[in-house]
A and B are shown apart, each in its own frame.
Chain A
Amino acid sequence: MSSKSENFFTDCVKDAAMGGLIALALFSVLIGMKAEVASGLGGGLGIEYRWAAVAIAVAVVFGGRLLLNLFVWKTKTPVTEKAGSLMPSMSSLAPLGKYAMPVFLVLAVLLPFLLMSAYGARGSRQYLDLAILVTTYVMLGWGLNIVVGLAGLLDLGYVAFYAVGAYSYALLAQYFGFSFWICLPLAGILAAFWGIILGFPVLRLRGDYLAIVTLAFGEIIRVVLLNWYEFTGGPDGISGIPRPSFFGIEFTRGEGGFADVFGLDYSSIHRIIFLYYLILIMALITNFVTMRLRKLPVGRAWEALREDEIACRSLGINTTNTKLTAFALGAMFGGFAGSFFATRQGFISPESFTFIESAVILAIVVLGGLGSQIGVVIAAIVMIGGFEFFRGLEEYRMLVFGLLMVIIMVWKPRGLISTRAPSITLSGKKGKGISADLVQEGHG
């Protein structure tokens, strides 16, 4: 018995020592030597040796590997298993899912008042701003969910439609003086139009190729906005974008302003609350339409397309049109969100529409669980809210954030909500969720 445990220990040490040796070989060059321009007039190139840093790095590798060997990799009772059992299982979360929707909705509606009572008008502003940001991403996530989650088309350039929406409003307001409420539908239509324009050439492509072309499309839109200086203002962006009005009532101080009409004391928070409700309603409409479409033939065709395109064609479904509608609808909601973004910020520039935005929106959809509406909400809160929440950690927040993503992806590889609810059931009841293992992810 004792020899066995001794064996186990020497095994672990041996393995860790091997790791340490490899680390030493690598780090002695990578970390140990640093090329430096010698100070002084000569200015020759010299090498600075940092053996202490190498020692630390090797010690960390050796120690880390030893601990992992002892407690996780080589032992029969790995601590990860115990830790894994601490994580809530899916079955215990199922009843939560039933109440999550209404609870989220009530919370979202009451949020401004809760914040106001907790922090006062001045203090709650930053939290409301964050709530607006999160809700914008929820809406974008829901929009992209149509394309990626339902139709299974991997779109890496979704931010292009967000940009089209934002610039549509900004330019229409600048050149023609149109108000927000006229521009909102126009921005959606224009974005949908661009969705179809993008859709046509990429329809033949699948998987990785589709992803690359959509990525390129996103960049093209941004580069055009950046370089068409006379029209879009290029890198200077567009400023002074008009704020939205409440049925024609402006949020201004004094006579005829919102506060005056409703007999309230003027406060800048009114406009923020209004913006919050505006994006909340827009997001809820997106959700309502998507949920509705899922139960209609077109939504079922999207999901069928994700499952098996060839079978779809053999059943008489025009896959070209079906893909285009998915692209156009997803783009339209992106456009709506974009025009909201423009009116909220009052200033837009191509810098707001970089690839990282597309990546974040896609991450929200993937993290939430492809095709899951409530999953997108949770993922947006975790990702956007969490990102802001860890701002105090400064440069470490990326690290924390990355770790969080890794943990979630190990724990739930198919996203937080990984069951698919049937769109129609014979029994008329809600029906049992379909495990994600059976659902295809789509192949472009």
Chain B
Amino acid sequence: MSSWDINPVLTIEHLTMRFGGLVAVDDLSFNVGRGDITALIGPNGAGKTTVFNCLTGFYKPTEGRIVMNRLNGEHFLLERMPDFQISAHAKVARTFQNIRLFGGMTLLENLMVAQHNPLMVASGYTIGGIFGLTSFRKAEREAVERACYWLEKTGLVDRADAPAADLPYGDQRRLEIARAMCSGPELLCLDEPAAGLNPKESAELNALLQYIRKEHQTSILLIEHDMSVVMEISDHVVVLDYGEKISDGTAAAVKDDPKVIAAYLGVPDEEVDAVEEEVGI
């Protein structure tokens, strides 16, 4: 039994998502280990982002169960929760494949919006805030400190007061991770965090993700095409193809799995029969 099956932070059981006649995800089950970096990989159109959308509430899965096990022992059935509660209560944060920042707001404001819920409570649901309660001011100062902490960690603190849309692409990716972290998640879901990054930025991203995992008790689930990221940092790799899981294991094990090689590279015509026999089709 692998470590991720013993203490999972997220358990996905028999997840199926159909759009009309199209089966985007078919009977998918896997665990995300607590404190692990888990990579969800697969060729384009394999259903990776659909899995993300299901577990962050943007889609309601057709079948299946998604259980989030929080550190404090609470369990949440994510498939039943509206999207905003998944972030607020189940503590699952996500980033997007096509970056979704608040472009017209400054970096600091972006990170303040991420701390909306605790600040809302501190401001007495706005009423106390209008009168400038000291407890709210204190909470706001703490929120700014937290935002600064993440801006420093992502190397963006110099541009804290600049609009987010003005940032270069790589910085926007990092800011989105910082924003997700400001909501204090226990599971961070990253949709292609290394897309469009150069090798140097990619290496920095690896360091950042490992730092997050180590220092913040945050497990990471990421979709990635960049194999240098996947192989270097992930403890556990799940491979999807046509909505089905074709491989599940450590990075090294998955790399040599003939099914995975077949899905990614295809096989020469003369070997098709042999591979099919091996794969069991």
Contacts from A to B (Cβ < 8 Å)? 289, 292-293, 296-298, 300-301, 303-304, 307-308, 310-319, 325, 420, 422-427, 431-432, 434-435, 438-440
Give every chain A residue within 8 A of B109 (Cβ-Cβ). 300, 303, 422-424
> Chain A's nearest CB lies how many Å from the CB of B100?
4
Q: Is the CB of A316 within 8 A of B183?
A: yes
Give every chain A residue within 8 A of B183 (Cβ-Cβ). 315-316
State whether the Cβ of B201 lies closer than 8 Å to any Cβ in chain A. Answer: no
Give every chain B residue within 8 A of A296 (Cβ-Cβ). 123, 126, 129-130
Q: Is the CB of B84 within 8 A of A319?
A: yes
Q: Roughly how many angstroms separate A80 CA and B95 CA in the complex, as a whole number? A: 47
State whether the Cβ of B96 lies closer than 8 Å to any Cβ in chain A. Answer: yes
Q: Is the CB of A297 within 8 A of B129?
A: yes
Q: Is the CB of A317 within 8 A of B161?
A: no
Q: Is the CB of B105 within 8 A of A426?
A: no
> Chain A's nearest CB lies how many Å from the CB of B238?
22
> Chain B's nearest CB lies how many Å from the CB of A413?
16
State whether the Cβ of B23 lies closer than 8 Å to any Cβ in chain A. Answer: no
Q: How many A-B residue pairs have CB under 8 A?
A: 135
- Which of these binds chain A: B13-21, B112-120, B229-237, B261-269? B112-120
State whether the Cβ of B101 lies closer than 8 Å to any Cβ in chain A. Answer: yes
Give every chain B residue within 8 A of A297 (Cβ-Cβ). 112, 115-116, 119-120, 123, 126, 129
- Known A314-B94, A316-B117, A432-B161; contact A303-B108, beta-carbon cutoff 8 A: no
Give every chain A residue within 8 A of B129 (Cβ-Cβ). 292, 296-298
Q: Roughly how many angstroms separate A315 CA and B102 CA in the complex, as a whole number? A: 12
Q: Is the CB of B160 within 8 A of A303?
A: no
Give every chain A residue within 8 A of B119 (Cβ-Cβ). 297
- Known A308-B102, A316-B88, A319-B84; contact A426-B144, beta-carbon cutoff 8 A: yes
What would be 6 A-B contacts, judged by CB atoms less than 8 Å apart?
A289-B130, A308-B101, A310-B100, A316-B88, A423-B105, A440-B104
Give every chain A residue within 8 A of B57 (Cβ-Cβ). 313
Q: Is the CB of B83 within 8 A of A315?
A: no
Q: Roughly how many angstroms separate A173 CA and B163 CA in the complex, as a whole number? A: 50
- Please give me the residue from chain A that is nearest to B120 by CB atom: A297
Q: Roughly how many angstroms separate A404 CA and B123 CA in the complex, as a whole number? A: 44
Give every chain B residue within 8 A of A318 (Cβ-Cβ). 84, 88
- Known A313-B83, A314-B87; contact A300-B116, beta-carbon cutoff 8 A: yes
Q: Roughly how many angstroms separate A76 CA and B203 CA in the complex, as a whole number? A: 52
Q: Is the CB of A304 within 8 A of B87?
A: no
Q: Is the CB of A303 within 8 A of B116?
A: no
- Known A304-B105, A307-B105; contact A315-B116, beta-carbon cutoff 8 A: yes
Q: Is the CB of B113 within 8 A of A315?
A: yes
State whether the Cβ of B208 lies closer than 8 Å to any Cβ in chain A. Answer: no
- Known A297-B123, A301-B116, A426-B160; contact A307-B102, beta-carbon cutoff 8 A: yes
State whether the Cβ of B166 lies closer than 8 Å to any Cβ in chain A. Answer: yes
The prevalent SS among residues of A at the interface is mixed
Closest 6 A-B residue pairs measured CB to CB?
A: A439-B104, A316-B87, A316-B88, A307-B102, A297-B119, A311-B100
- Known A296-B123, A316-B116; contact A424-B144, beta-carbon cutoff 8 A: yes
> Chain B's nearest CB lies how many Å from the CB of A81?
29
> Chain A's nearest CB lies how many Å from the CB of B140?
8
> Chain B's nearest CB lies how many Å from the CB of A394?
43
Q: Roughly how many angstroms separate A432 CA and B163 CA in the complex, as a whole number? A: 10
Q: Is the CB of B104 within 8 A of A438?
A: yes
State whether the Cβ of B85 lies closer than 8 Å to any Cβ in chain A. Answer: yes
- Known A300-B116, A308-B100; contact A427-B105, beta-carbon cutoff 8 A: no
State whether the Cβ of B165 lies closer than 8 Å to any Cβ in chain A. Answer: yes
Q: Is the CB of A425 within 8 A of B104?
A: no
The count of residues in chain B whose C-beta lies closer than 8 Å to any C-beta of chain A is 44
State whether the Cβ of B154 lies closer than 8 Å to any Cβ in chain A. Answer: no
State whether the Cβ of B70 lies closer than 8 Å to any Cβ in chain A. Answer: no
Q: Is the CB of A298 within 8 A of B106?
A: no
Q: Roughly how many angstroms separate A38 CA and B113 CA in the complex, as a whole number? A: 73
> Chain B's nearest CB lies how many Å from the CB of A291?
11
Q: Roughly how many angstroms separate A303 CA and B101 CA in the complex, as a whole number? A: 12
Among B105, B114, B120, B166, which residue has its beta carbon within 8 angstroms of that of A422? B105
State whether the Cβ of B149 lies closer than 8 Å to any Cβ in chain A. Answer: no
Q: Roughly how many angstroms separate A289 CA and B109 CA in the complex, as a whole number? A: 20
- Please give me the residue from chain A that is nearest to B102 by CB atom: A307
Q: Roughly how many angstroms separate A341 CA and B144 CA in the complex, as a whole number? A: 43
Give every chain A residue within 8 A of B86 (Cβ-Cβ). 316
Q: Is the CB of B102 within 8 A of A303?
A: yes
Q: Is the CB of B84 within 8 A of A420?
A: no
Q: Is the CB of A316 within 8 A of B58?
A: no
State whether the Cβ of B69 lies closer than 8 Å to any Cβ in chain A. Answer: no
Other A-B pairs beyond A296-B130, A308-B102, 18, CB < 8 Å: A296-B123, A296-B126, A297-B119, A300-B109, A300-B112, A304-B116, A308-B103, A310-B58, A311-B96, A316-B183, A318-B88, A325-B126, A422-B106, A422-B109, A427-B161, A431-B161, A438-B104, A438-B165
Chain B, 47-98, CB within 8 A of any chain A CB? 56-58, 83-88, 93-94, 96
Give every chain A residue within 8 A of B245 (Cβ-Cβ). none
- Known A296-B123, A297-B116, A311-B96; contact A316-B104, beta-carbon cutoff 8 A: no
Q: Roughly how many angstroms separate A201 CA and B166 CA in the complex, as a whole number? A: 36
> Chain A's nearest CB lies how many Å from the CB of B218?
15
Among A312, A315, A431, A435, which residue has its beta carbon within 8 angstroms of that of B93? A315
- Known A317-B116, A438-B166; contact A426-B161, beta-carbon cutoff 8 A: yes
Among B58, B102, B117, B161, which residue has its beta carbon within 8 angstroms of that of A304? B102
Give every chain B residue within 8 A of A435 (Cβ-Cβ). 163
Give every chain A residue within 8 A of B104 (Cβ-Cβ). 303, 307, 420, 434, 438-440
Q: Is the CB of B85 within 8 A of A316?
A: yes
> Chain A's nearest CB lies how many Å from the CB of B120?
5
Give every chain A residue within 8 A of B163 (Cβ-Cβ). 434-435, 438
Q: Roughly how many angstroms separate A313 CA and B84 CA in the complex, as a whole number? A: 5
Give every chain A residue within 8 A of B100 (Cβ-Cβ). 308, 310-311, 314
Q: Is the CB of B93 within 8 A of A314?
A: yes
State whether the Cβ of B213 lies closer than 8 Å to any Cβ in chain A. Answer: no
Q: Roughly how many angstroms separate A292 CA and B129 CA in the complex, as a whole number? A: 8
Q: Is the CB of B87 within 8 A of A431?
A: no
Give every chain B residue within 8 A of A434 (Cβ-Cβ). 104-106, 163
- Please give me the residue from chain A that is nearest to B147 by CB atom: A426
> Chain A's nearest CB lies how many Å from the CB of B35?
23
Give every chain B residue within 8 A of A311 (Cβ-Cβ). 96, 100-102
Q: Is the CB of B106 within 8 A of A431?
A: yes
State whether the Cβ of B174 lies closer than 8 Å to any Cβ in chain A. Answer: no
Q: Is the CB of A292 within 8 A of B106?
A: no
Q: Roughly how many angstroms separate A218 CA and B130 CA in the complex, as a whole number? A: 30
